[in-house]
Amino acid sequence: MSTVADACVPTRREWIGNGCSTLGKFGRKFVHATGAIFVFLLLWQLAPYIGLINPIIIPVPTTILQKMIQLILSGELETNIAVSLGRVLVGFFIALAVALPLGFLLGGWFKSFETAVNPLLQVVSQANPFTLFPVFITLLGIGELSKISIIFWVCQWPVLFNTVTGIMNVDPAIVKMARSVGIGKWQMFKKVLLPAAMPSVFTGIRMSAVFAFFMLIGAEMIGASSGLGYMILQAQATFQMPKMWVGIVTVAFLGILFNWILLQVEKKFSGWKEELVI
């Protein structure tokens, strides 16, 4: 005789059905997210056979993968990745340490000063970082300091400007409401300004991460003896195309991974923000 408790327990068929439904949804989501990548790789693999690309200049994915495995087994790829990541992370986090506090101050407490210095900051930030290489090398030499400094230079501006914009675009009605209940300046910043500005701040942080990897290659192609940029340049100079493409693919993958990590951090700090569903 079945009881009420038994009726509430899912049957084996229901467990299997729910599991298959979950797997089906995951499978559809996975295919939807990666389908274009697989199609692109397949077309890339077949392109030499139909005369679209020269496999000597642009190796197919399987050739690049084979070369990547060789470089991993020899330890060369891991060494260059570690060197490049060290430069990126140091320059990136120094930029955050400088630009975030400055952006909050200019956007929140020194708006008049921000209005006065904003034209100067805009002009300075537009300077092409590649044209500044000689300046950094002249002042700091060709060692690690110049490479980290140029990465810091390009990373700080998106964080600074997006932080200022995020703070200044907070809804004034929310600020007035907080003031009406007697909230202090620190609580105003912590409970009102910071959460409201967080999406804009993280947009700037993710842009800075893209610029960091973009600038890394240029920095490592000048006066470096290790790193992914150096590996790419040396492979190109000696016409080792598969090795060069391994470096290019690795930099792209690291950039994607870094951006994904930042997105997860953003979700943690901006959990209140609802995603738009159409």
Tokens of 240: 């080792």
Report, in angstroms and rounded to the nearest whole number, the Rg of the chain calculated over CA atoms: 25
Give pLDDT, residue 5.
46
Q: What are the pLDDT tens digits along the chain (278 aa)? A: 445 445 444 555 554 555 455 555 555 665 666 778 888 888 888 888 888 888 888 899 999 999 999 999 999 999 999 999 999 999 999 999 999 988 888 877 677 777 778 788 888 888 888 788 888 888 888 888 888 989 999 999 999 999 988 888 877 777 778 777 777 777 777 777 788 888 889 999 999 998 898 888 888 877 778 889 889 989 998 999 999 999 999 999 998 899 899 988 888 876 555 544 44
